[in-house]
Amino acid sequence: MYAAYVTITILASVFTGVAAVTYLIGHDYPKAQMDMKRLPRAWMPRLGTALAAGSLGLLAGFAVPLLGTLAAAGLVAYFVGALIAHLRVGSRQLVGWAVFFSTSVAALVLNLVHHW
């Protein structure tokens, strides 16, 4: 179980970390996503910061388990919000969302199982 916990936590951290960087550097893909969801581009740094905090929090969870649990829960909430943003505009392009959401949920579940 420990190997699964470590593997999924690192995978979720890498996924969200890469997404955070794309938001923070102003890459074209997040800009297109913001436009498609009719969200202000001014939110991109905040969303990128939230993703970065979740990514780093997952890694910090190896040292302080509560931080990892809170980071994983925060990422799950973030991606629930992303789903709502997709559905609000009628978007059915949910494959990318499903990958991020499922890895975040898996990180949360494995964190809870491993530490609590």
Angstrom distance (rounded) from CA 74 to CA 78? 6
Domain boundaries, the chain: 2-115
Which pLDDT value is given to residue 7? 97
Residue 21's CB is within 10 A of a number of other CB atoms, namely: 14
Beta-carbon contacts of 91 under 8 Å, excluding residues fewer than 6 positions away, are: 36, 37
Which pLDDT value is given to residue 99? 97
Angstrom distance (rounded) from CA 49 to CA 105? 20
Written as tens digits, the pLDDT of the chain (116 aa) is 899 999 999 999 999 999 999 999 999 999 999 999 999 999 999 999 999 999 999 999 999 999 999 999 999 999 999 999 999 999 988 999 999 999 999 999 999 999 87
Cα angle 101, 53, 14; round to 5? 55
Q: Considering just the CA atoms, what is the radius of gyration of the chain in Å?
A: 14
Cα angle 94, 51, 72; round to 5? 85
Which pLDDT value is given to residue 104? 98
